[in-house]
Amino acid sequence: MIILMKAEATPEQIEAVCQAIRDQSLEPLVMPGQGSVAIGIPNSLDQRNRPQLDALLSAYDGVGRVMHVSRAYKLASREFQREPTVFTIKGATFGPGYFQIMGGPCSVESYDQYRLSADLVKSAGARILRGGAFKPRTSPYSFQGLQEEGLKIIKQVGDETGLVTITEVMSSEMVDAVAEHVDILQIGARSMQNFPLLIEAGRSQKPIFLKRGPSATIDEFLLAAEYVLNQGNKNVILCERGIVPLDRTYTRNTFDISAIPVLLENSHLPVMADPSHGTGVAKLVAPMAKASMIAGAHGVMIEMHPNPKAALSDGSQALTPERFAALAGELIELAKFLGIQT
Ligand code: PEP
Ligand code: MN
């Protein structure tokens, strides 16, 4: 259950509602929003007690509306917010009616490699530049990213080209430093349940690109988004990026395309797809990117490297500049056909 307080509700009125909830041996969860405060009751409530509790709380001063949410996640749910969340970052809009292409290398490797990647991304018609400065690698002996130096390169190239920039932040301590250098904070698949990181990223009020954990259920994914939303940060983009596969012979992960419409049905947040990590195979990226648009995704994240064979990470799934440009062109055409803006 969620109690939406009126915009003008006073702290005393909010506390009175919280106390009334505690008096019922339940835990109130105060969720500050942009306009008004919502008070959630995360406990599962007995169906029979709901009407009584609804009537009791509706009578308190400052209460706007009492809502019943049947899902574990609340702020991320369609029940809580029927209207889709739509927001714009430097002219790039995320949400229904729009399709955003994020392109760039897995890792930032040098200024020259990144600046060239940015020019290629831009000339292909994409608006968003990806690239990791801090890399979550399975082996500690693999390239870990240029780290702080990488952040500076991203900032410089973003400023030079006007592209929207996104990079991964791996720890809560680094949120402020990363947020100073990029437009969107990426929370990687391996960090999806790093709760202190989700909270800190939420507090930063920067747009968050949240990737689904390889073993996460849809509910776990949306509960991770809930951590960010619960900090009053409403600019969250969900990203399906493949789940643990049954068979690694042909793909690195299993790209769960059905997650796209499932997320759209159950959440109001923008949904994107990453067919690069989703499949791990360059030749599978184009068909899965187009399928993502048809499935309703609001954009794709695609790895492209000026020279995939020389890439310091994820070369086997990176598109060449030519293949990236061809795919971006096809996606832009397909979007036009569907009446979607890019
Ligand atoms: C990435 O986008 O570079 C990345 C590491 O992705 P994921 O967290 O989905 O593995
Ligand atoms: Mn990668």
Between the CA of 313 and the centroid of ligand 2 the distance, in Å, is 6
Quickly list DSSP for 235-269.
Answer: -EEEEE--B--S-TTT-SSB--TTHHHHHHHHB-S
Distance, CA of 255 to CA of 16 (rounded, Å): 47
Cβ(252) – ligand 1 distance below 6 Å: no
Q: Which residues of 238-271 are buried (b: 16+ CB within 10 A; e: fewer)?
A: bbbbbbebeeeeebbbbbbbebbebbbebbbbbb
pLDDT digits (tens, 9 = 90+) for 99-122: 999 999 999 999 999 999 999 999
Between the CA of 215 and the centroid of ligand 1 the distance, in Å, is 14
Q: What is the mean pLDDT of residues 125-130?
A: 98
Which ligand is closest in space to the CA of residue 188?
1
pLDDT digits (tens, 9 = 90+) for 183-195: 999 999 999 999 9
Distance, CA of 221 to CA of 148 (rounded, Å): 29
Q: What is the pLDDT of residue 1?
A: 87
**Token pair for 239:** 């990203």
Q: What is the pLDDT of residue 77?
A: 93
Residue nearest to atom 9 of ligand 1 (CA): 189
Q: CB neighbours of 183 closer than 8 A, spacing ≥ 6?
A: 89, 90, 158, 164, 165, 166, 206, 207
Q: Write down how long the chain is.
A: 342
Task: For residue 20, give the 3-state DSSP assignment.
Answer: helix
Pair type for strands 299-303 and 2-5: unpaired
Q: How far apart are the first and last CA of the chain?
A: 38
Task: For residue 340, give the 3-state DSSP assignment.
Answer: coil
The Cβ of residue 6 has, within 10 Å, a number of other Cβ atoms equal to 15
Q: What is the pLDDT of residue 71?
A: 86
Distances (CA, A) of 164 to 101, 139, 182: 11, 30, 8
Report the nearest atom of ligand 1 relative to the CA of 274.
9
Q: Residue 142: is its pLDDT beyond 70?
A: yes
Can you count the helices (H) and strands (E) in the chain?
11, 14
What ranges in the chain are assigned the alpha helix state H? Answer: 11-23, 50-58, 111-123, 148-161, 175-181, 195-204, 218-229, 259-266, 275-279, 282-295, 321-338
Report the nearest atom of ligand 1 relative to the CA of 188.
8
Q: Residue 34: is its pLDDT beyond 70?
A: no
Angle, vertex CA 268, rays to CA 267 and CA 269, nearest 5:
90
Distance, CA of 117 to CA of 115 (rounded, Å): 5
Cβ(142) – ligand 1 distance below 6 Å: no
Q: Residue 33: is its pLDDT beyond 80?
A: no
Q: What is the pLDDT of residue 103?
A: 98
Lowest mean pLDDT among 11-25, 31-45, 201-215, 264-278: 31-45
- Name beta bridge partners: 89: 92
Between the CA of 97 and the centroid of ligand 2 the distance, in Å, is 27
Report the nearest atom of ligand 1 relative to the CA of 106.
3
Cβ(105) – ligand 1 distance below 6 Å: no
Alpha carbon dihedral 327, 332, 338, 342, in 10-degree steps, equals 130
pLDDT digits (tens, 9 = 90+) for 242-275: 999 999 999 999 999 999 999 999 999 999 999 9
Share of the chain above pLDDT 70, in %: 99
Nearest to 70 by CA among 97, 31, 108, 44: 44
Nearest to 172 by CA among 105, 128, 231: 231
Average pLDDT, the chain: 95
Give the residue carrying structure tokens 């969250």: 236
Cβ(305) – ligand 1 distance below 6 Å: no
Q: What is the pLDDT of residue 336?
A: 98
Angle, vertex CA 172, rays to CA 170 and CA 176, nearest 5:
100
Between the CA of 156 and the centroid of ligand 2 the distance, in Å, is 21
Between the CA of 259 and the centroid of ligand 1 the distance, in Å, is 17
pLDDT digits (tens, 9 = 90+) for 298-307: 999 999 999 9
